[in-house]
Amino acid sequence: MRESIESGKSVSNAGTLYVVATPIGNLEDMTPRAVRVLSEVDLIAAEDTRHSGKLLKHFGIDTKTEAIHEHNERSQVPRLIEILKAGKSIAFITDAGTPLVSDPGFHLVRSARQAGLTVIPVPGACAAIAALSAAGLPSDRFVFEGFPPPKSAARRAAYEKLCEESRTLIFYESPHRILESLKEMTEIFGPEREAVLARELTKQFETVRNGTLTELSEWVNRDPHQQLGEFVILIHGVPRVEREAVDGEAERVLKILLDELPVSQAAALAARITGLKKNRLYEYALSLKGGGK
pLDDT at 135 over 70: yes
Domain ranges of the chain: 16-125, 128-238, 244-291
Fold matches, 16-125 and 128-238:
no
Q: Residue 7's pLDDT is what?
A: 40
Q: Residue 241's pLDDT is what?
A: 47
Per-residue pLDDT, averaged over 11-23, amounts to 81
Q: 3-state DSSP call for residue 199? A: strand
Q: Residue 109's pLDDT is what?
A: 97
pLDDT at 287 over 90: no
**Cα 233 to chain center, whole Å?**
10
pLDDT at 288 over 90: no
Q: How confident is the model at residue 284 (pLDDT cuts 50, 70, 90)?
A: confident
Q: Residue 280's pLDDT is what?
A: 81
For 161, residues 6+ apart whose C-beta sits below 8 A from its C-beta are 286
Per-residue pLDDT, averaged over 111-135, amounts to 97
Residue scoring higher pLDDT (262 or 120): 120
Sheet of strand 142-146, all strands in order from the earlier edge strand to the far edge: 142-146, 168-173, 231-235, 194-199, 207-212
Neighbours of 61 (CB within 10 A): 21
pLDDT tens-digit readout, 198-215: 999 999 999 999 999 999
Neighbours of 187 (CB within 10 A): 16
Please check whether residue 273 is in contact with residue 253, taking contact to mean a CB–CB distance below 8 angstroms.
yes
Handedness of CA 38, 44, 47, 48 (dihedral sign): positive
Q: What is the CATH number of domain 128-238?
A: 3.30.950.10
Per-residue pLDDT, averaged over 6-22, amounts to 67
pLDDT at 1 over 80: no
Rg (CA), the chain: 23
pTM (two decimals): 0.78
pLDDT tens-digit readout, 24-60: 999 999 999 999 999 999 999 999 999 999 999 999 9
Q: Residue 291's pLDDT is what?
A: 52
Mean pLDDT taken over the chain: 90
Q: Which CATH architecture has domain 16-125?
A: 3-Layer(aba) Sandwich (3.40)
pLDDT tens-digit readout, 220-255: 999 999 999 999 999 999 876 445 678 888 889 989
Question: Among residues 136, 194, 133, 197, which one has the least CA distance to residue 171?
Answer: 197
